[in-house]
Homo-oligomer: A and B are copies of this chain.
Amino acid sequence: MYDDLIMKPKDEKKVEAIAAAVYLLAARHGLAAVTLADIAREAGVATSTLYVYYKSREDLLDDVYQKAKTATVTRYSRNDDPAASLKSRLRLIWNNIVDNRIENQQQVAFLEQYYHSEYLSETSCALGQRMTAPFLELLVGGQKSEQLKQVPPPLLAATVMGLAKETAVLVSRGHLPDDEDTRASGFQICWDAIRA
């Protein structure tokens, strides 16, 4: 009965309003409690309008997830200068991750909940890996120049991202101030963790 798996997003503004509504509501009430009626109300459209853009609730959330994931990973490498030193580049990336977590709390809250709550579509799953490939290459380069520990590269990557996340969470919850000291301490920990 249905032709296409994904419907054409017609009005980009509405699609973005829908995504923003999902982020907000997931962060505020928890993804499990977010209904299509909530999303529609927050996005300023009728519930049935959501079905003009998406075939089902699952489709909607999956698309929003992909949008958010792409945006997030893109922010990780913002202002990255390939000519800079390894430590400088990692500091920038680490800061980008912390910034992203703090500035886009709602998006991050949604991403983490959706990641757990439903089996991601294969497309979404592959997406994550594709985006982190350049980051892995940077780390491998650091290992070759013997600046970083000779451990499995995914462990290095997980260390950087995990530590950035922990710092950001502490800041978001008010356990740490969002200042230069926090950034300095946080990255020092990160750098000491991975350097050779």
Contacts and interface: CB of A to CB of B under 8 A. Distances in A.
Interface string A71-92: 0000000000000000000000
Chain A residues touching B, majority SS: helix
A192 B196 CA distance: 10
A116 interface: yes
A117 interface: yes
Contacts of A166: 155, 158-159, 161-162
Contact of A155 (B30, B117, B149, B167): B167
A33 B118 contact: yes
Interface residues of A, number: 41
Contact of A30 (B118, B154, B193): B118
Contacts of A33: 117-118
How many copies are assembled? 4
Given A116-B113, A162-B163, A193-B163, A185 B30 contact: no
Contacts of A31: 32, 116-117
A183 B79 CA distance: 35
A169 interface: yes
Contacts of A195: 192
A69 interface: no
A51 B33 CA distance: 19
Given A31-B32, A32-B32, A113-B116, A158 B152 contact: no
A163 to B, nearest CB: 6
B30 A117 contact: yes
